[in-house]
Structure 1
Amino acid sequence: VEINGIQDDPDIKVLMAGSTLRKVKSRSWKKQRHFRLLEDGLTIWYKSRWAGKGHSTFSVTELEMVREGHQSEVLLSIAEEFPAALCFTLVFHGRQGNLDLVAESPEEAQAWIQGVRKLIHRHSLRWVWDWFQKADKNKDGKMNFKEVRKLLKMMNIEMNEEHAFHLFTMADKSGTGSLEIEQFVHFYKILTQRDEVWKVFQDYSGDGEKLMLEELDNFLRIEQQTGERSAQHAQELIERYEPSETAKKQGAMTLDGFQMYLCSQDGSIFKPEHQGLYQDMSQPLSHYFISSSHNTYLLEDQLRGHSSLEAYIKALKRGCRCVEVDSWDGNDGEPVVYHGHTLTSKILFRDIMSTLKEYAFKVLVLRVLSPFIALQASDFPVILSLENHCGVEQQTVMAQHLRQILGDTLLTTLVDGQVPLQLPSPQELRGKILLKAKKIGAMGDRNCPMASFALFSPLLQKSKSKLSRELSDLVVYCKSVHFHGFEHSRLHAKCYEMSSFSESKAKKLAKESGRDFVQYNTRQLSRIYPSGFRTDSSNYNPQDMWSVGCQIVALNFQTAGLEMDLNDGLFRQNNCCGYVLKPEFMTDGNAQFSPEKPDERQGYRPLRLSIQVISGQQLPKVNQKEGSIVDPLVRVEIYGVPQDQAKDETSHINNNGFNPVWNETLNFVITTPELALVRFVVEDYDKASRNDFIGQFTLPFKCIQAGYRHIHLLSRDGTAIPPSSLFVNISISELS
């Protein structure tokens, strides 16, 4: 895509002349770099003014959007030093980190913000060019109708041949029976014109050409339910998404701008205000759901799988805040970690500690929330769940490694020196690693006579000698104890004592004593782990455990599927920091909530969720065979308290993965909205065998924005697959 026709734009002129911008990585790392747009109109080049020949480049096609002002953690941290008018962020597609930049003047910042936005819009069809070049086998830059039909199939587009030929003839301005690349782009644009978006646009546009400010304001208030701020919001959206300068000057939005807005983060199903850190982080640890991993060291199954440090890095990248270590005596005095009594490979305990030290708080949390979101690190505490099979000697070696390698990131003392009546908060424990393991005696009684008696009395030594004093001393707030029942716990348990439950034991307790389990979990932490029979590292449904308030619901992060989709979905909110505050009826010690009887709780208010599934856009091919086209259907699944579990689906559309239109409405009643997760799944219908998975997106019900929204689909392993999306209209209302 050449620069012709845009190089006279004043903003593009600034980009081509080049500017010195500060690249910011942290509060202390702010370095000047010279940036400029190269002559191809596609490549942004930058280098240090002092470095010799070294330079970096990236393509405009890699960019998703430009954010203005202090819209990233890094830029927020330097807000006092540099005003918002100088700052902007270049957001990349997928997993690539963002670029935070500071200009020397507000005018220069605006030129870069607007200029790059224009280029993103101009090059949004770049991938169409790439397809064209792939299909142009003889490289003559032309394609006849037969070749175009073949290309459409490759792009997962199946369409009425007569209609396609009609559009082909319209695009063939020269009447040669073949399209050159520019004509093909024109053909593609008329082919992909989205009637369903155009219809919504027409409903609010007086002249059918543009939405004036007041018309856009009406749309936002009535359809998008933006409330009082809609007028100001309408102005912001025009500034942000309208590609036409003329329309901008009129305070209007064209169909192009409207479509860009609907496909953007602002038009996404996920509430923008729930993406950042919006929850109170100063409550006791027991009041939060904590993203937790089981057998963290495994990359595969539990019998022959590969143990790997990479598995810890991957889990932490995914926002995990509780990792598991199975330690066994090593041959040379060094403890090793693996799945005991199996053929899984072994890794050194000390190497895992080094990995944790490096990645626990510095790792960029992998935002599996579509391509929009920045990558940021979580500094809320990491719990190290130790499954200890070592003898006393190597336990002492573990204690030495924990102290020496983790240093002051390991929590070894009480936060304020006092034995607590409730657990400290994630806020108070920021940047700390907590050891969960067995402990000799009670907290704070290290020097009391009973503790030393326990160590030296021959009667007690037998049971206590299995524990190393050095390792025991490192356990502060997560002392592993055997569970003796809810009544016993209510009368005798300390807040820092926690028990682990197998999935079957926890499920039984949840069914028989749901209310007691919720109460128990207001004060103490519970860890749930998959059944020992799951040798294939499969997972159980975590929702059953969250519904009774269990905090540490450990899953095999290495195994893709519904259960990890739910985990990603729950922890997608609150800055993906790995901690989500439980609803108030699960943290109040006097609350009487039972997931089996949701209507008995105070403040019970069920809601109706109505989802009109309108259309799909550019769904990925499932079968890579050249001739195969998907027959997509959409299923909406609700996960929550037992009464809320539900699913419903649309019919399937034959042979159209490119722009299927369903226009079908699915309705649900949700009794406990605070605990519900909504999962959108797209499948390729197959009447003879099981449907194939195409993509999904899962989010908490409380994070859903009403109105016309796009759902940006994720792959099986939870990563973004742009430009695949669903277009829906969502309404949420009280049951009348």
Structure 2
Amino acid sequence: MKIEAFKIKMLNFLTKREKACKAEHPSDLKEAFSKFARGGSQMNKDQLLRFIVEHQGDNIGGEEDLDKIVESFLVARSCSSSSRTRSARFPDVYNKQGLTLNDFVDFLLLHDFNAALNDKVHHDMNAPMSHYFMYTGHNSYLTGNQFTSESSDEPIIEALKQGVRVIELDLWPSKSSTKDGIKVVHGRTFTTPVALRTCLKSIKKYAFYKSDYPVILTLEDHLKPKHQDKFAEMAFEIFGEMLYCPKTESLTEFPSPESLKKRIIISTKPPKEFQQSDSISKSKAGPNQCETPDEEFWGLELSDSVSKLTEDKGNARDADRENINTSNNIPNKQGVLPYKHLITIHGGKTKGSIKDQLKDDTKVKRLSLSEKKLKSASESHGADLIRYLSNLFERYHISILDNTHCTLTQGLIEIVILSRFTQKNILRVYPKGERVKSSNFRPHLGWMYGAQMVAFNMQGHGKSLRLMQGMFRANGGCGYVKKPEFIIRTLPHDEVFDPKKQLPVKEILRVKVYKGDGWNLDFSPTHFDRFSPPDFYTKVCIVGVPSDCVKKKTSVNTDTWYPVWDEEFKFELRVPELALLWIEVKDRDKGKDDFAGQTCLPVSELRQGFRSVPLFDPKGKKLNSVKLLMRFKIETLNNLSISLI
């Protein structure tokens, strides 16, 4: 009986497989082919060129460029075993007859010719760095969790290969016998250290593997001045001319990414400010006053927050003397500038009132907020963030409101502070300390308020990291994405963008999911189901400002490795500039549905027409063969007078 049952299941499997291979092409594809082939059974070169220009909206030079595309298509197609049509016949007859319908569909499925995104850098890269979202890592050296994992240069290398532009290193004095005396480690945890020299060498080697735009090293500096000088020596020795040193200590405006191509930039708190902030915090804090919960959880993790040194008074006096000796701008005997003159992006202290800061063009800086504080503030829409920033700036002798009369609500005060700060300065948002397993938060929490550096654990795979990866597929994947103008600049009536306001619909996005292909090549026959082909369905979601977020999904396409859904979804978008299209394919199962691929695409970058959309594994690695054939249509509504607050 068992043998007979097995035979029946196998026969059922083979029958379903044969049936799956005979699925018809979606009607839209057949209609487009018929239209441009003028009702014929083949599409010639001229007709294909017209289809590419008129239907796809792609610009190609003419027949010569088309010949190159066709030649590349032939090579790719002949090498692809996923093609179920006669690839050997195609090169011989194309010039005489042209593309058949099957050839045409195979052409559409090739990502190289029908990608959903532009793979070239196309944003204006000459604006100040504060005008860009930056692909940012958190504790970039950790291989796993935040408490017991190993530190290594391997996660740094992997991040740089993916296009991450901001690498974080925690620097501590090393008690080992190594000549450099500096280690990289997550302090006050059980993580193992890695030598700073190892990290810097790997950064030099892979910094511009994916992108030529600048790499920023954010340093959590726990070093004494003599070790800071050692860091400066190592940085000059290893990076050489790649290391950017600003000509002035206080920049009035950050340089542009374009002007800093192939350069490495240092961001940390200058040494003198570090010590001054220590004395300020000690004078403000009572003997029993505790740190904030995040800081208490991890100890002194953040050098760009109000910090306090752990050295005793004698060591502090020694450090002061050492700092005085190295604080001038004179290179040492090896031609190395002092540590503080390596710092381009200053973290930490501001002076004067917040009112003056919004008008002051003399200094730009970086400020860090924890995810926890920013989330709490955004949810309460006002009071929490005002309270936190008031405490922070009070330590710096700053009044948030400067005793001025203000008619704004607390929520709008919050938005004004964050948005105006990020118009010139850099805001970094980092994961809360409780994320011991290196998970991440929703990145829009920071992006909506203009935060340039939303710092993520790149080893913390999950939906949040997929959204981050999706955002930075924009602008050719160079790691810098120009912020929308309404976030960069104050609006005509001195307003700022409020992501929580219900806005009119600005754009309608229509997404059609036609079919999928390639699972039979990347997965074993029994990966999803032992005795039958998979039952695939596709989730299509928008993630952005709260009013734009929506989830939809196709029907289940049963018993096939080659699903055809042919279903369309309509999304009404209020802030398309911040919207991400998240796509995930799953296999329906009796228990938990099986993962079958995912991707995330920035809506503002989508190319209209029929598009091949490759899918990725849960960690963001591109699957070799799996792809969806989709269509994108975008209709922009005439809402030019819409206020964004």
TM-score by length of 2: 0.72
Q: CA deviation at 1:306?
A: 1.4
Q: Is the 8 A contact 2:253 2:424 kept in 1?
A: yes
- 1:265-414 pair list within 5 angstroms: 265=111, 267-271=113-117, 274-332=118-176, 334-361=181-208, 364-365=209-210, 378-414=211-247
* Residue of structure 2 aligned with 1:430, choices 261, 276, 291: 261
SS of the residue aligned with 2:254? coil
* 1: CA distance, partners of 2:212 / 2:481: 14
- 1:275-674 pair list within 5 angstroms: 275-332=119-176, 334-361=181-208, 364-365=209-210, 378-414=211-247, 420-440=251-271, 465=320, 468=323, 469=326, 472-482=339-349, 487=355, 489-490=357-358, 494-510=362-378, 511-512=381-382, 513-590=414-491, 592-596=495-499, 606-619=506-519, 621=523, 623=527, 626-627=530-531, 629-656=533-560, 658-674=561-577
Give the letter for the 2:173 counterpart.
Answer: D
CA offsets 1:485-518 (integer angstroms, 9 cap, x no match): 9546325685432111111223345543234422
Matched, 1:209 2:41: yes
Q: What is the match of residue 445 of structure 1?
A: none
SS of the residue aligned with 1:541? coil
SS of the residue aligned with 1:614? strand
Q: CA deviation at 1:356?
A: 1.9
Q: CA deviation at 1:389?
A: 2.2
Give the letter for the 2:150 counterpart.
Answer: H
Q: CA deviation at 1:381?
A: 1.5
* 2: CA distance, partners of 1:267 / 1:396: 51
* 1: CA distance, partners of 2:625 / 2:11: 18
Q: CA deviation at 1:278?
A: 1.4
Q: Is the 8 A contact 1:201 1:255 kept in 2?
A: yes
Q: CA deviation at 1:335?
A: 1.8
* 2: CA distance, partners of 1:466 / 1:209: 85
* 2: CA distance, partners of 1:152 / 1:203: 39
* 2: CA distance, partners of 1:473 / 1:246: 67
SS of the residue aligned with 1:397? helix
Gap change, CA 1:264 and 1:488, over 3 Å in 2: same
SS of the residue aligned with 2:358? helix
SS of the residue aligned with 1:473? helix
- 1:713-732 pair list within 5 angstroms: 713-732=615-634
* Cα RMSD after superposing both structures: 3.7
Gap change, CA 1:195 and 1:491, over 3 Å in 2: closer
Q: Is the 8 A contact 2:253 2:361 kept in 1?
A: no
Give the letter for the 1:560 counterpart.
Answer: H
Matched, 1:258 2:113: no
Gap change, CA 1:160 and 1:437, over 3 Å in 2: closer
Q: What is the match of residue 700 of structure 1?
A: 602
For these two proteins, the number of residue pairs brought into alignment is 525
The answer to which of 487-496 and 644-653 deviates more is 487-496
Q: Is the 8 A contact 2:266 2:342 kept in 1?
A: yes
**By percentage of residues, which structure has more strand?**
1
Gap change, CA 1:435 and 1:312, over 3 Å in 2: same
Give the letter for the 1:611 counterpart.
Answer: V
- 1:55-204 pair list within 5 angstroms: 159-160=15-16, 191=22, 194=25, 197-198=29-30, 200-202=32-34, 204=36
Q: Is the 8 A contact 1:392 1:466 kept in 2?
A: no
Gap change, CA 1:245 and 1:405, over 3 Å in 2: closer
Q: Is the 8 A contact 1:237 1:261 kept in 2?
A: no
In structure 1, stretches of 5+ residues that fail to align are 1-145, 165-187, 366-377, 443-457
* 2: CA distance, partners of 1:522 / 1:235: 47
Q: What is the match of residue 734 of structure 1?
A: 636
Q: What is the match of residue 586 of structure 2?
A: 683
Q: CA deviation at 1:276?
A: 0.9
Give the letter for the 1:270 counterpart.
Answer: A
* 2: CA distance, partners of 1:646 / 1:715: 23
Q: CA deviation at 1:564?
A: 1.9
* 1: CA distance, partners of 2:322 / 2:627: 54
Q: CA deviation at 1:359?
A: 2.2
* 2: CA distance, partners of 1:216 / 1:332: 67
Give the letter for the 1:224 counterpart.
Answer: Q
* Residue of structure 2 aligned with 1:712, choices 614, 633, 641: 614
Gap change, CA 1:664 and 1:195, over 3 Å in 2: closer
* 2: CA distance, partners of 1:195 / 1:340: 57
Q: CA deviation at 1:290?
A: 0.9
Gap change, CA 1:382 and 1:159, over 3 Å in 2: same
Q: What is the match of residue 56 of structure 2?
A: 224
CA offsets 1:66-96 (integer angstroms, 9 cap, x no match): xxxxxxxxxxxxxxxxxxxxxxxxxxxxxxx
* 2: CA distance, partners of 1:423 / 1:250: 58
TM-score by length of 1: 0.64
* 2: CA distance, partners of 1:713 / 1:237: 23
The answer to which of 401-410 and 461-470 deviates more is 461-470
Q: CA deviation at 1:204?
A: 4.5
CA offsets 1:396-436 (integer angstroms, 9 cap, x no match): 3323322333333222332xx59542111112222222211
* 2: CA distance, partners of 1:500 / 1:463: 29
Q: Is the 8 A contact 1:212 1:252 kept in 2?
A: yes
* 1: CA distance, partners of 2:532 / 2:185: 43
The answer to which of 489-498 and 709-718 deviates more is 489-498
CA offsets 1:524-582 (integer angstroms, 9 cap, x no match): 01111100000000011112211221111110111222222222212223332211111
Indicate the percent of aligned positions where both proteins have the same amino acid.
27
Q: Is the 8 A contact 2:543 2:550 kept in 1?
A: yes
* 1: CA distance, partners of 2:101 / 2:512: 22
Q: What is the match of residue 395 of structure 2?
A: none
Gap change, CA 1:203 and 1:429, over 3 Å in 2: closer
Q: Is the 8 A contact 2:490 2:496 kept in 1?
A: no
* 2: CA distance, partners of 1:467 / 1:634: 62
Q: Is the 8 A contact 1:423 1:495 kept in 2?
A: no
In structure 2, stretches of 5+ residues that fail to align are 1-5, 75-86, 274-312, 328-337, 383-413, 639-645
SS of the residue aligned with 1:702? helix
Gap change, CA 1:276 and 1:638, over 3 Å in 2: same
* 2: CA distance, partners of 1:408 / 1:152: 66
